[in-house]
Structure 1
Amino acid sequence: MIASALSKPVRRTIVSILAVTALTASPGFAGDIAVRDAHGRNVVINDSSRTVSIGGAITEVLAALGLDQRIAGVDSTSTYPLAVVKDKPNVGYLRQLSAEGVIGLNPTLILAMDSAGPKQTMQAIEAAKIPMVSIPENFTEQGLLEKIRLIGHVMNADAAAKCLATAVAEDFEQLRQLRARITRPMRVMFVMSLVNGQAMAAGRNTAANEIIELSGGVNAIDSYEGYKSINDEAIVAAKPDAVLTIQRSRDTFEADAFYAHPGFALTPAAKTRSFVAMDGLYLLGFGPRTPAAARDVAATLYPQLATPAGNFKPKAASADCRS
């Protein structure tokens, strides 16, 4: 990470540590696996043969660990790997789930990002007594490695998870070496959407903020946390050197709309026409491909890194960590 762990709020560190703390299985559950999840629940897992994966990063990790045959269903953010997800039953968007849709797949285990919802749906699933593990969304380098280890432990695939976490850690090291060549960090604004002339931009403590930092940039928005709508005056005052966004099938924030926007037209980014759009899961999912995504952003923002970036060979993509 660019910022040290000490610069993150203490509460995030505590939650992250709790989330990956394995509990000692009681004698009554010989051979079972027990963990404490992101919501502080003690969950015992004795069968992962029909796992519903709610969260694109979770699905990516399961696939990388060679556990795709155990996936009984996915959510709509699970778009990669296509060969794995294309024929899986889909339970819908992770924040708009229905209890019937999830429970109807007869899962033996549910892995869900801790932002999954709505609340009443998650409560209904809990009431059904199906083992459910909430995976922490800690948008940091260490948080990603812990996520991989936790998922591997829950699935009784610790060795495979260690292999994948090591490969991703090596990718982060390659990224650090690339980033060290940046002499003037660019101010980058991540824009989630531009609807009716209103931009929604990412502040601190977001996946977008971390990707900007991992790619060697500085978030042009540092006055708030999360994603919020901002007016033209705030856009001009932020002085972004570049705009970063996600590609969508509809309502995409296209470069032409950016150049024509009265606020963005007055920014340094408009003068240099610096605009980067990437697949949403690849860019913000915080799965095994995150270092590669940050590399791609860096190579676009800083043309002088293009050749070294071409030598960046993601270990996570080539490592054989299948359980």
Structure 2
Amino acid sequence: MSDSIVAAPGVPDHFPQRIVCLTEEPTEVLYALGEDHRIVGISGFTVRPPRARKEKPKVSAFINAKIGEILKLEPDLAIGFSDIQADIARELIKAGVEVWISNHRSVDGILAYIRRLGAMVGAHGKAEAYAQRAEQHIAEIRAAVAKLPRRPKVYFEEWDEPIITGIRWVAEIIGIAGGDDCFPELARESLAKQRILPNGDEVVRRAPDIILGSWCGKRFRPERVAARPGWDTIPAVRNGDLYEVKSPIILQPGPAALFDGLDAIHRIIVEWALR
């Protein structure tokens, strides 16, 4: 699909020219759209695409940023995610930087985010094509799932101490991939503190068939999970169905979750369903 908003040769490009990406998902989207030349700074947690780490200066973490370094880059737009980055946004706004903080938490929200970001940089056509590609991929997974003989109950753990269950887009991806999230009522809660379990008893009671772990910033340890008191009765533990899903492909509300994250979870569910 051709892009309908690209400036003609010799005509000034009136869209943002110097963008700082405070989280990974805008970096991944802009690279995918071929608009990476607009990026002047990225999050230190960025791993997608790999070349971004080599090409762009790292100026932020998630809850803090190098405000002075960002200002030296003279950005005309900074893009971040969620209320957690409110303090960073406030400091940049006070310094005169235009800031966009998205707050999406669902699969539909990710798709809308791709389209909105594309429009903001004058790449509406390319963004629409990219979003449609993601939608087609989701449709193909749904069609494959419809042929599976059974659906597992899936428990997703975002953190271990305290135990935090999965956020909304993760629960939705589990559903698309062929499973049923064990804590759908908690998945609707946007803040991690609202998804904390007092202990593991309720996980035992809900008896998941599969346990998925993605502990942001550290390696998932299935042997530690399996050793929790009473968890030996859980079907997933009895059958050894505990798996890590790497954080960069599932805990970022961006394209990675709709492609690699969805594929990873779908493969695990298919293997279980056809066993």
- Please report the TM-score for the alignment, with normalisation by the length of structure 1: 0.72
Amino acid at match of 1:123: R
1:297 to 237, 251, 265: 265
What is the match of residue 4 of structure 2? none
Distance (whole Å) between structure 1 residues aligned to residue 181 and residue 272 of structure 2: 21
CA contact (8 A) 2:158 2:215 kept: no
Q: Any idea what the Cα deviations from partners look like across 1:197-238, whole Å, max 9, x if unmatched? A: x53223xx5232222222121111234335313413222112
CA contact (8 A) 1:209 1:219 kept: yes
Amino acid at match of 1:191: E
1:175 matches 2:141: yes
Q: Any idea what the Cα deviations from partners look like across 1:170-193, whole Å, max 9, x if unmatched? A: 111111111212332211111122
Distance (whole Å) between structure 2 residues aligned to residue 294 and residue 47 of structure 1: 32
Percent identity for Structure 1 against Structure 2: 22
What is the match of residue 117 of structure 2? 151
CA contact (8 A) 2:211 2:242 kept: yes
State the 1:159 CA deviation.
Answer: 1.6
Distance (whole Å) between structure 1 residues aligned to residue 273 and residue 25 of structure 2: 27
Structure 2: runs of 5 or more not aligned:
1-11
Structure 1: runs of 5 or more not aligned:
1-30, 33-45, 307-323
1:81 matches 2:46: no
CA contact (8 A) 2:19 2:77 kept: yes
Distance (whole Å) between structure 1 residues aligned to residue 25 and residue 51 of structure 2: 15
Q: Residues 151 and 111 (structure 1 numbering): CA distance in 2 closer, same or farther, change over 3 Å?
A: same
Q: Any idea what the Cα deviations from partners look like across 1:34-84, whole Å, max 9, x if unmatched? A: xxxxxxxxxxxx452211012211111001001112211111332100112
Partner secondary structure for residue 80 of structure 1: coil
CA contact (8 A) 2:171 2:184 kept: no
1:271 matches 2:238: yes
Q: Residues 305 and 290 (structure 1 numbering): CA distance in 2 closer, same or farther, change over 3 Å?
A: farther
CA contact (8 A) 1:199 1:229 kept: yes
What's the Cα RMSD here?
Answer: 2.4
Partner secondary structure for residue 125 of structure 1: helix
CA contact (8 A) 1:98 1:121 kept: no
What is the match of residue 104 of structure 1? 72
State the 1:104 CA deviation.
Answer: 3.3
1:288 to 247, 255, 262: 255
State the 1:246 CA deviation.
Answer: 1.9
Distance (whole Å) between structure 2 residues aligned to residue 80 and residue 157 of structure 1: 20
State the 1:146 CA deviation.
Answer: 1.1
Q: Residues 200 and 179 (structure 1 numbering): CA distance in 2 closer, same or farther, change over 3 Å?
A: same
1:127 matches 2:91: no
What is the match of residue 220 of structure 1? 182
Amino acid at match of 1:108: D
